[in-house]
Structure 1
Amino acid sequence: MKMFKTAVAGLLVSAVSFGAFAAQEVTKEEVQTMKLEKIGTVSTTAETTSPMDAKEELSKMADEKGGKYFLVIAGREHGKFSATADVYK
C-alpha cells in the first residue's frame, strides 16, 4: 500500500512540474512590454475538440520550438478547432 501511495505521489508531482515548464499564452500587450523575441509560428490541425485543447496543443508545439510564450493569432471552428500562434522566447 505504501508503494502505491508513493507511486501516485510521484505521478502527481511530475504532472505539476510538467505544467510549470509549459509555454504560457500571452497577450499582444505582454509581448510588447516584456520585449519578447519571436522565434517562429506553430499551427494545430483540425483534430482538437475544444478551444482549450487547441491552446494546449499550441503550448506543446511552442515548447518543442524552444519557446516560453505563445500568442494566438488565428483560430477556426469547423466542427473541430484549429489555431495558429506566434512563438516567443
Structure 2
Amino acid sequence: MKIFRTVAIALMVGSVSFAAVAAKEVTKEEVQKLKLEKIGTVNTTAETTSPMDAKAVLSKLADEKGGKYYLIIAGREHGKFSAVAEVYK
C-alpha cells in the first residue's frame, strides 16, 4: 500500500512540475497588455493528429526556445494539423 501511495504522489508532483514549466498560450490582447517581448517563432510538422497535439508541440518548442508564452498565428488542417506560433518572454 505504501508503494502505491508513493507512486501516486510522485505522479502528481511530476504532473504539477511539468505544468509549471510549460509555455502558456496567449491572445493578441494579452501580448499587448503584458507587453511581452517576442523572441522568435516555432512551428509544428504535419505529423500532429489533433489541434491539442499541435498546441502541446508548440508549447514544448516555445519552452526549448526559452519562452514563457506563445501566440498561434497560423494553423492548417490537411488530414493532419500544423501550426506556427510566435514565442514571447
**TM-score, structure 1 normalization:** 0.95
Q: What is the letter of the counterpart of residue 28 of structure 1? A: K
Structure 1 CA distance, aligned partners of 2:6 and 2:30? 40
Q: What is the letter of the counterpart of residue 49 of structure 1? A: T
Q: What is the letter of the counterpart of residue 5 of structure 2? A: K
Deviations 1:3-59 (A, max 9, x none): 232022111211122112100000111101100000000000011111011001000
- Partner in structure 1 of residue 58 of structure 2: 58
Long gaps (5+) in structure 1 = none
Structure 1 CA distance, aligned partners of 2:25 and 2:8? 29
Identity fraction in percent: 75
Structure 1 segments of 4+ aligned residues over 2 angstroms from their partners: none
Long gaps (5+) in structure 2 = none
- Partner in structure 2 of residue 48 of structure 1: 48
Report the secondary structure of 2:52's partner residue. helix
**TM-score, structure 2 normalization:** 0.95
- Partner in structure 2 of residue 29 of structure 1: 29
